[in-house]
Amino acid sequence: MSLLKRKRLLLSVVGFAAFVAAGYLLFRWREDHGHHPAYGDIPTWLTFAAAVLGIPFALYQLRMQRRQLAEQQKTIADEFARQQKRDQLLDAQLEQTRAAHRVLIRSQADLVDLVFDTWEAPTEETTPVGDPAVGELFHMARVVNNSSRPIRDVSCRLKKHHTALSDPALKVGEFTSRVPFEGMEVFSPEPAETAALIRPGKEFGFVFGTTVSDAPNALMYVTFIDDAGTRWRIGHDLRLYQDSDSGAWS
């Protein structure tokens, strides 16, 4: 029990004792002066006195209960506020962890580039239907692996326009060397649709059977698997998606 509570209890006891003593002295004084009280009324007066003294005590108890309730409500409110702050902190830490994870899993894929280019058919080249294709410019996708690890199962596809079906590449080849003084590259594609492996620092070309004149606004994309086994897609808008995402067409 706190010191304040002890003082209040002591004052209540002293007040009650003083009231009883005063009543006793009053009755004795009246008796000494010839006024004999009706002792049958004394229990009634004592009951009334106890009730009167009990009212402040009951009010005091009610006040203490209200104070305790207010303290409990404040404790609950403070705990709720602390819990909210902890939840906000945990949410922020979780979002930071997710962001770091996204950066980590994208680290290799971010270093793979898709470049839209053209390829001029050599003299002996023919179109997919067998017509001469000398001097024709065909759409070609260049895929450059600038990461430090290989990428696998690399495939490019082309759409002549947004509503058309996509077509695979007809020829695939590696740019094996460059002649810087002449600005030429050695590129001898072979019939294929995919490149099984593109090593770090290497560049491959994917030639399509669609000429620039037939589809000047053709769209291309590339899919590949990084060294961790995740499949990625670089869309015609050059945005990078995980291949399960719906951001790039198939």
* 3-state SS, one letter per residue, for 16-69: HHHHHHHHHHHHHHHHHCCCCCCHHHHHHHHHHHHHHHHHHHHHHHHHHHHHHH
Query: What local confidence, expressed as pLDDT, does residue 32 receive?
Result: 64
The pLDDT of residue 34: 61
Is the same domain home to 95 and 128?
no
Could you give the CA distance from residue 197 to residue 145 in angstroms, rounded to a whole number? 10
Structural domain including 212 reads 111-242
117 and 17 fall within a common domain: no
In this structure, are 76 and 125 located in the same domain?
no
pLDDT of residue 222: 96
With respect to residue 250, please indicate whether it lies within any of the assigned structural domains: no
| pLDDT lower than 70: segments of the chain | 1-54, 57, 101, 123-134, 177-185, 244-250
Among residues 106, 124, 155, the one where a domain terminates is 106
**117 shares a domain with 235:** yes
CB atoms within 10 A of CB 193: 14
Residue 102 and residue 181 share a domain? no
Cβ count within 10 A of residue 50: 12
Same domain for 156 and 41?
Answer: no
Question: What pLDDT, on the 0 to 100 scale, is given for residue 248?
Answer: 47
65 and 84 assigned to the same domain: yes
Between CA 205 and CA 195 the distance in angstroms is 9
pLDDT of res. 2: 58
Of 78, 106, 134, which one is at a domain's C-terminal end? Answer: 106
In a domain, 157, yes or no: yes
Structural domain count, the chain: 2
Which pLDDT score is estimated for 67?
A: 85
| Stated length of the chain | 250
- The pLDDT score that the predictor gives to residue 226 is 95
pLDDT value of position 122: 72
Q: Please identify, among 106, 127, 143, the residue that sits at the C-terminal boundary of a domain.
A: 106
